[in-house]
Structure 1
Amino acid sequence: MTTTTPQPCKKILVVSAHPEPRSLNAALTTFAVEHLRAAGHEVRVSDLYAMKWKSAVDADDFPDHAGDRRLHVMAASERATLAGRLSPDVAAEQEKVRWSDAVILQFPLWWFSVPAILKGWIDRVFTSGFGYGPALPPPYGEGSALAGRRALLSVTAGARESSFSDRGIHGRLTDVLHPVQHGLFWFTGMAPLEPFAAYGSNDLSAERFAAAKREYGRRLDGLFTDEPVPFRSLVGGDYDHDMRLLPGVEAPGANGLELHVRPRG
Structure 2
Amino acid sequence: LIDSGVSAPTADYEVKRAEKDPVFLVAQRLRRDLAKSYWVLGNTRRLEGQRGPAEIPSLDKIEPELFFADFYYANRPVKLTGLVDHWPALELWTLDYLENEVGDAIVELQGQRESNPDYELVKHHHQRQLPLREVIAAIRHYESTNEFYVTAYNDSVNKHSLAPLWDDLGPVSILKPTGGRDGFFWLGPKGTLTPLHHDLTNNLLVQVLGRKRVLMVPPWELGRVRNHQHCFSQVTLPELQAVDRNLQVYECVIGPGEAVFLPIGWWHHVEALDVSISMSFTNFPVENDFTAGHPVDPQG
Is the structural similarity TM-score above 0.5?
no
Which structure's relative contact order is higher, taking Cα pairs within 8 Å and 6+ residues apart? 2
Normalising to structure 2: TM-score of the pair? Answer: 0.24
- Structure number with the higher strand fraction is 2
Structure 1 or 2, whichever has the larger Rg, is 2
